[in-house]
Amino acid sequence: MKTNVLNLICLFAILLIAISCEKETPIVQTTGIVFPKTSVLLNVGSQDTLKVAISPTNATNPAVTWTSSDTTVARVNADGIVTGVKHGSSTITATTVDGKYKATCVVQSLKWTRYTTADGLSANSVSCVVIDSVGSLWFGGLSASKFDGSIWTTYLDNQGARAIAVDKQNNKWFGTGYGISKFDGTNWITYDTSNSGLTDSSINSNTVAIDLNASVWAATSSQVTFSGTGVSVFNGTTWKGYNSTNGLASNNVVCIAADAQGNKWFSTYKGLSRFDGTTWTSYTSANTNTDLVNNVECIAFDAQGNKWFGTDIGLLKFDGTTWTTYTISNSGLICNPIVSIAIDKQGNKWLGTLAGGVTKFDGTTWTNYNYDKFIVIVRGIAIDKQGNKWFATDNGVFELQD
């Protein structure tokens, strides 16, 4: 009996020693925290869940706290769910529970506004947009629509406002299927083949431009054969026509733009043509080694003198010597076919695509924008003095405050 008791005492002692010798589970301290994405675009009224990466991955307590630098722009809850409140920028900070490590992510809240016929737009299919010297917006389509920020007004009812340009005197010039109409805010003058030197009365879409000398350029097509008939220019007194016999790459002109040096640029499906007032120079696939010059839909110029061309198969840049091509295969473009371009004061290129929304390119980073019913053809882009972007689409007009 005594032996059994002694054995039990010994066993109990051994167990006590073993338990006392067990090591406590070590605490793994957090050593860092990062956001996989340091910036996020968020539409006002929408939500997104932010994620952070904790180091090491086996940290004992990976919990974090969340704060927003401006809750009037973006709010964030305890689970990292951020909500866009109004347009603007807010910095979201994630902090480890011990308070030693922090990471930040900039949330840009975007406010989109859509305008349709219900608001006063003459038609939901909009082909172009310009802004005049007093800040009013003009949209082309089945008719012309003016929006002064409060009131919508319709002009040229059902005449087809295919192209619009504004001169230094704030006169609006409209290209239609019946000629070019000038509107000074009170009076209208329409020029056609019966009273001017226009080659034809049918003006091509997006082909009215004003050069540095205040001359008005427009591309025309035959109302009989529907083929292009070159370009016409009006200096306020006389008209003159140019076509392929003068040096234009093709009579079928798709777009016209005038640069800061006074050159006129014309896109055709046989290449680009530049006219300095005396000499014509054409750029084709044969002398540029790129087929994109034969597919240009829109033209823009940046402050450094670079020429940017939106084409059916990507974006093309020309610095005067080198041609650079950007497509979905070598860039962040959302879609290859580009039908509109605008450049803001910061030098960002805004690219309207055929069916993918809008891409912004700052020279390094590509950012894609989309919103609800915005997945449509973006045929025109204009940027107002406040930096708001206006998009003419097949599904109404969209305003972006970013």
Instruction: Indicate the class that CATH gives domain 112-401.
Output: mainly beta
Instruction: Indicate the class that CATH gives domain 32-110.
Output: mainly beta
What is the pLDDT confidence band of residue 99, given thresholds at 50, 70 and 90? Answer: confident
Polymer length in residues for the chain = 402
pLDDT tens, residue by residue, 318-352: 999 999 999 999 999 999 999 999 999 999 999 99
Q: Flag whether pLDDT at 22 surpasses 90.
A: no
Instruction: Collect contacts of 179-182 with beta carbons under 8 A, ≥24 apart.
Output: 179/203, 180/208, 180/216, 180/218, 180/234, 181/156
64, 30 Cβ separation under 8 angstroms: no
Instruction: Note whether 32-110 and 112-401 share their fold.
Output: no
Round to whole Å and give the CA distance between 365 and 379.
23
290, 311 Cβ separation under 8 angstroms: no
What is the pLDDT confidence band of residue 213, given thresholds at 50, 70 and 90? Answer: very high
Map out the domains of the chain as residue ranges: 32-110, 112-401
pLDDT tens, residue by residue, 259-300: 999 999 999 989 999 999 999 999 999 999 899 999 999 999
* CA 313 to chain CA centroid, nearest Å: 17
